[in-house]
């Protein structure tokens, strides 16, 4: 077993243990492997170990990897865009990715809908919530969610699947759980309004346990799978 396969097995074990502790089935939590800055060869190792869903933060890097695997004729993979999205890059996301986690304004949502090719199924989107009210983070306030959700749900090229958040680092589990629970409550309310909503993308390596206990359905894990990232080439 290579290192990435070993790491994936360890992460899956941690997800299962966290789910078991709060009375959930491990199948309720999807692992999104965050492959930003990592070469296609690392993704190939993860694919060989059974991983199918990958998250990319940088549009062009992600598109290059998507095209690489498409040209190889590899088995279908699921590609999630999880970084901040600028308007001038929206077409690349609309044309290449399966999911976008970072919708935080109507203008971006409208562009994604209009630019989604007719031959593809609608783009799965999550609305990003700035749950910790950080100026450095993208996302909307919870008070803005109802309005944006109704606007996004009406766009024909998109399917509203749920919410995403990147909480500020918290020093202890109880604080992590409190913040994650705010997201979970908003998610449950959204599920009651829209039949397509089924995904809460919440939790990374340091707060995964609290996120799963609160109700996350998708955790985003990178370094624990692929090792430390090298940003020097960017």
Selection from 26, 27, 47 nearest residue 225 by Cα = 47
Q: Is pLDDT at 233 greater than 60 in this prediction?
A: no
pLDDT confidence of residue 201? 98
How far apart are alpha carbons 80 and 190 in whole angstroms? 21
For residue 232, tell me if it sits in a domain.
no
For residue 17, tell me if it sits in a domain.
yes
Q: pTM to 2 decimals? A: 0.96
For residue 152, tell me if it sits in a domain.
yes
pLDDT confidence of residue 231? 66
For residue 125, tell me if it sits in a domain.
yes
Task: For residues 80-92, give the mean pLDDT.
Answer: 96
Q: Is pLDDT at 186 greater than 70 in this prediction?
A: yes
Q: How many domains does the chain have?
A: 1
pLDDT confidence of residue 133? 87
* Domain of 88, in residue numbers: 3-226
> What pLDDT, in 10s, does the model give residues 102-141?
999 999 999 999 999 999 999 999 999 999 987 778 899 9
> What pLDDT, in 10s, does the model give residues 57-78?
999 999 999 999 999 987 899 9
For residue 231, tell me if it sits in a domain.
no
Q: Where are the beta strands (DSSP E) in 130-234?
A: 158-165, 199-201, 218-221
> What pLDDT, in 10s, does the model give residues 4-55?
999 999 999 999 999 999 999 999 999 999 999 999 999 999 999 999 999 9
Give percent above pLDDT 90 in the chain: 91
The CATH number given to whatever domain includes residue 102 is 3.20.20.10
For residue 139, tell me if it sits in a domain.
yes
Reported as half-sphere exposure (CB side, CA atoms, 13 A), residue 132 has a value of 18
Strands 158-165 and 199-201: parallel
- Rounded to the nearest 10°, the torsion over CA 10, 13, 19, 24 is 140
pLDDT confidence of residue 232? 62
How far apart are alpha carbons 174 and 166 in whole angstroms? 17
How far apart are alpha carbons 63 and 102 in whole angstroms? 16
């Amino acid at each position: 077993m290579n290192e990435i396969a070993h790491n994936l097995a360890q992460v899956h074990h941690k997800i299962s243990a966290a789910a078991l502790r709060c009375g959930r089935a491990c199948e309720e939590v999807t692992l999104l492997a965050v492959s930003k800055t990592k070469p296609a060869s690392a993704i190939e190792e993860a694919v060989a170990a059974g991983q199918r869903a990958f998250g990319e933060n940088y549009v062009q890097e992600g598109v290059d990897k998507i095209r690489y695997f498409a040209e190889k004729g590899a088995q279908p993979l699921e590609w999630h865009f999880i970084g901040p999205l600028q308007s001038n890059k929206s077409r690349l996301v609309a044309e290449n990715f399966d999911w976008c986690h970072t919708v935080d304004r109507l203008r971006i949502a409208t562009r994604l809908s209009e630019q989604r090719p007719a031959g593809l199924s609608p783009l799965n989107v999550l609305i990003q919530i700035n749950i910790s009210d950080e100026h450095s983070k993208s996302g909307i306030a919870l008070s803005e969610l109802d309005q944006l959700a109704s606007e996004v749900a009406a766009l024909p090229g998109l399917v509203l699947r749920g919410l995403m958040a990147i909480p500020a680092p918290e020093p202890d589990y109880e604080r992590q759980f409190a913040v994650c629970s705010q997201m979970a409550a908003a998610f449950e309310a959204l599920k009651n309004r829209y039949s397509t909503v089924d995904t809460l993308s919440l939790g990374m390596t340091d707060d995964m346990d609290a996120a799963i206990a609160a109700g996350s359905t998708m955790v985003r894990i990178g370094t624990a799978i692929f090792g430390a990232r090298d940003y020097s080439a960017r």
